[in-house]
Homo-oligomer: A and B are copies of this chain.
């Protein structure tokens, strides 16, 4: 993308309404625009990151054997009366009447609707296991929407639902979600720690939240510092192998890590003192096993292998897709701007032309731009007639992890400069070598 043809409305001043760094940088980098309290437009740069995050979530769910579909944003109230949640949910549920005075709502979550889909079509244990998920806009009418997309009212969420014949199979689904979530967050450059949590209005027996450590987090968390060193890495996990999946979960949940809701001071004090940590965390996902809570009340029954009708075992599992942009920025920025991890960056690399209009510099930039494109890497090329300082400030603010700087002086020696946004370190090399290096960096992403 050539910046002269793009729509990247960066702001020079810090917006007064933004209280936390992610909100401030998302506004300043031209990623979002508020349209009403807690309701945002995703401007082109923000939309690119949102799509990238959505794509990673999809890929890891499909890898785990889960099946995508899409439920609508609006739901009939009657479905929620069946589970008893229509009255329970309170003012956070946005209730709507259509022109025929039918009662509707903007879905804050989808347990009822997915159970309705399931009971309409599945009758036998032979069609299990089954896990369906979607990534769709939700609405929660927060009393005090704030912190930009971190606590918005209209937000994008992945919510998935497993249907299993018995508790063991459902717990395997729970574990499968835990592993797929760990991989999802790692691909986004995040350390998200699964912590035993409280089940809240979804209800249920087992639940873990995934928390990203950040000083602006809404939850107080208590953990053994060794837990932050665990990595899934590139290991292959066979999602059909219950023992293997369970072993990974055990590895990631044995060390103490809890939110204030489930904190146990006695257990915490048993950790060696130098590893005892109290910090704040941002919740970026949660998994639940709740058994037959919805299937029993809504009549989602299946025939088991003895020919008996039993309510199907379920769980639900969510990732806050739009909120993740905020969480990633909270975890990865400096005083100049955002520092995107390679997995979610809106563009893999920026090209800064130090002297727009100089024949050699223009030609070298065009050559780099096309060579990168030929390798499937869309650079953001700052081809504006601006001074170098302004171009660098924009690149630092929007946080592309790599920058190639091109100027007449370097070109005279056959080199351009490759700079890491994270370390600030620069290296001179030929344009061809820069392209090869960028391609190598992104080959594993």
Contacts and interface: CB of A to CB of B under 8 A. Distances in A.
Interface of A: 5-7, 9, 30, 33, 35-37, 39-44, 46-47, 50, 65, 67-76, 79, 91-92, 94, 96, 98-99, 102, 104, 106, 113, 116-117, 120-122, 130, 132, 134, 137, 139, 141, 143, 153-154
Contacts of A36: 74-76, 102, 104
B99 A143 contact: yes
14 contacts: A5-B65, A7-B67, A7-B130, A7-B132, A30-B121, A35-B72, A35-B79, A36-B76, A41-B69, A41-B72, A42-B71, A47-B68, A72-B137, A96-B106
Contact of A91 (B44, B76, B99, B153): B99
Nearest to A163: B7
Contacts of A72: 35, 39-41, 137, 154
A139 B74 CA distance: 9
A74 B39 contact: yes
Nearest to A116: B35
B96 A35 contact: no
B141 A99 contact: yes
Nearest to A96: B96
A35 B75 contact: yes
A109 B134 CA distance: 24
A73 to B, nearest CB: 6
A80 to B, nearest CB: 12
A305 to B, nearest CB: 16
Contact of A73 (B9, B102, B137): B137
B117 A43 contact: yes
A93 to B, nearest CB: 9
Nearest to A240: B5
Contacts of A71: 35, 41-42
A43 B44 CA distance: 29
Contacts of A91: 99
Contact of A44 (B37, B50, B67): B67
Contacts of A134: 47
B96 A69 contact: no
A50 B136 CA distance: 14
Nearest to A42: B70
Contacts of A37: 102
B40 A69 contact: no
A228 to B, nearest CB: 33
B33 A120 contact: yes
A139 B70 CA distance: 16
A40 B74 CA distance: 9
Contact of A42 (B6, B69, B116): B69
A74 to B, nearest CB: 6
